[in-house]
Structure 1
Amino acid sequence: MLQKFGFTQYESQVFEVLSASHQPMDASTIVRFSQVPKSKVYEVLNRMVEKGLILSSSTDRKKLYNAVPLETIIENLTTEFEANVEDLRNKEYTHTPIDDRVWTVKNSRTISSLTKELTENANSSIYISGWNEHLKALTPLLEQKKNEGVTVEMLSVGELESSIPQTHVLIPNEGHEALERYQLLIVDEKEILFAGIEQGEWQGIQTLSRSLVKFFTEFFYHDVALTEITKKYENTLMEDESIKKILMKLRY
């Protein structure tokens, strides 16, 4: 009977047995008449007490249970249903659109200002990479965000002084073929700003696109991994001409 109102089969069986009895019952008697397994009966009874379906009383000898009057149950269910209907009627549903647009950014000053603004607004994490000449001006702000509890990890092409523990430094090799001026900023793992030089002018993209944020985050850690591996095993790697030739073609 109670299953129609969202209660379990066991709860319904116990309630029917207690409602039909003119006397309180103990757990063993309830098991015998309700067919609820003995291993489950106390769990079911405790849950029903919490839901206000039955009453319990402890004596010196045993614990007894009695059903709450059916009219009281009906009144409670009706009140709860009406309250839920009212909540549903008053609930305001909002849809947060996914912004996958990619914005083009030009002009070095605009890129610098936007980089600073995004960094200042970071709440949880900042991953940033670029050449030391660009990162130097941002370092005090990055250190401040680190002190505020924001996770900051940085990859600098060229020497850079910083108190941020997660600072990786790549010293360019003159043999690098693909090292170009660039900068990458990933804020809170949800927004990126990537910029580089095209035809002698700085230009870049800014986006909240999840797929691009994921791609550039992997891109960032690809560079970090290569930087640390090369730093640790540089002598061995550079002695192998075939490996050296491949490394010199990489962008990092």
Structure 2
Amino acid sequence: MGNLVEKGIVMKEEINDTTRYSPLPVEIFLQKAQSEWQSTYEGISDSLKKLETFEEKTDNRVITLKDNKTIISYCQALIKKAEQRIVISMWDEMYEALKEDLSQVADKVTVQGITLHVENPIKNLEAHRITPYTETRSTEHWFILSIDSKEMIYGPSLEERNVAFYTDDPVHIYLLEDYVWHDVLVNRLVRRSQDDLQQWITAERKSFFMGK
């Protein structure tokens, strides 16, 4: 009985050297239980949110995505999240799957990168020149989609393998964005092969990386 008194479930009264125990009124008991539950819930909720924030800050991930529809949905969600800049490298099949989503955000964020076998890509996107490499049937149709240099999805052609990779790891993102930039740069260099290029390369790189 003493434990129940300590837990506040039973009231203890002492009258004329006589101890009397009685239960808490139902309304008070329920209110007390609700208050304790709410306090416990809020404590757990705060702890989980802090843990989630800590993990987001410290635990950069590379996650495998499977299934064509799932991968496309992840890409569409990332495009909608973009605040400043989207970098892509895409062959025609992946570009067509995301063309509408990219077009919808092209007026509010900068969309940069390169496309392959795409006619009339949206503004700022480079159309890759035709080469023996692009026309070889065995060439993998990889894609890269990066937003704000914070999150990225990349992978092979979804027509060949239903797999892709999501990452928020800054090393992955830097390396693959740099890969896209070099692809863009070489494509432009071919068009300007007769010019003095060093000053032009410096200006183009600064423009591509938005002053970085």
Q: TM-score, normalised by structure 1?
A: 0.49
Q: 1:109 to 1:171 in 2, by over 3 A?
A: farther
Q: 1:220 Cα shift?
A: 1.3
Q: 1:232 to 1:112 in 2, by over 3 A?
A: farther
5+ long unaligned stretches in structure 1: 1-91, 235-252
For 2:191 and 2:162, the matched residues in 1 are separated by: 29
Pairs within 5 Å for 1:120-131: 120-131=80-91
Pairs within 5 Å for 1:1-252: 95=54, 97-148=57-108, 150-164=109-123, 166-174=124-132, 176=134, 179-197=139-157, 200-233=160-193
**Cα displacement string for residues 172-207 of structure 1 (whole angstroms, at most 9, x for unaligned residues):** 323555732111001111111111149941322111
For 2:149 and 2:62, the matched residues in 1 are separated by: 16
- Contact 2:91–2:118 (8 Å) recurs in 1: no
Q: Name segments (4+ residues, structure 1) moved above 4 Å.
A: 175-178
Matched with 1:67 is: none
For 1:196 and 1:232, the matched residues in 2 are separated by: 31
Q: 1:175 to 1:145 in 2, by over 3 A?
A: closer
Higher relative contact order (CA 8 A, sep 6+): 2
5+ long unaligned stretches in structure 2: 1-49, 195-212
**Cα displacement string for residues 94-138 of structure 1 (whole angstroms, at most 9, x for unaligned residues):** 856223121011222221111111101111110011102221332
**Cα displacement string for residues 22-72 of structure 1 (whole angstroms, at most 9, x for unaligned residues):** xxxxxxxxxxxxxxxxxxxxxxxxxxxxxxxxxxxxxxxxxxxxxxxxxxx
For 1:192 and 1:143, the matched residues in 2 are separated by: 19
Q: How many residues align?
A: 140
**Cα displacement string for residues 64-88 of structure 1 (whole angstroms, at most 9, x for unaligned residues):** xxxxxxxxxxxxxxxxxxxxxxxxx
SS of residue matched to 2:102 = helix
CA RMSD of aligned residues (A): 2.7
For 2:99 and 2:110, the matched residues in 1 are separated by: 14
- Contact 1:99–1:208 (8 Å) recurs in 2: no
